[in-house]
Amino acid sequence: MATLDEQIARALEESRKSGELEGAKSWAKPQVEDRGFSETPDEFRMPFKILKDAGFVPPEVEMLREIATLMEELNAMSPAHPQYEEKRARLADLRVKTSVRLEAMRGSGRI
């Protein structure tokens, strides 16, 4: 019986021979890191990528993207800015909510 790595290698080779891989819009191009990727826990990256490729974006991914956006905005603004504290509080709240949701997914065995 073939190992999982051997099965994957065989499937990739079959896809290469059939031209399926070359037909992909991302073929031979560097992979672009999505916003929120670095904030996504390692064990969720592949499942979320599969869902994204299938056209479904989980709410947790949207939350991670919003976290990345808020972090960029906060890094670009002065603490004296009128919206700084509001955005900082939103970021803290979103981080807690996201952590709770991801931890619930870990505990449920869904991922």
Per the structure, the complete domain to which residue 68 belongs is given by 57-111
HSE of 71, CA atoms in CB hemisphere, 13 A: 13
Does 27 fall in a domain?
no
Per-residue pLDDT tens for 46-91? 887 888 888 888 888 889 889 999 999 999 999 999 999 999 999 9
Please check the confidence at residue 94 and state whether its pLDDT lies above 80: yes
Please check whether residue 74 is in contact with residue 84, taking contact to mean a CB–CB distance below 8 angstroms: yes
Please check the confidence at residue 108 and state whether its pLDDT lies above 80: no
Does 100 fall in a domain?
yes
Does 74 fall in a domain?
yes
Look at residue 79 in the predicted model and tell me its pLDDT.
93
Q: How many Cβ atoms are within 10 Å of 24's Cβ, its own excluded?
A: 10
Does 76 fall in a domain?
yes
Burial 26-60 (b: 16+ CB within 10 A, else e): eeeeeeeebebbeebbeebeeebeeeeeeeeeeeb
Does 80 fall in a domain?
yes
How many domains, the chain?
Answer: 1
Does 26 fall in a domain?
no
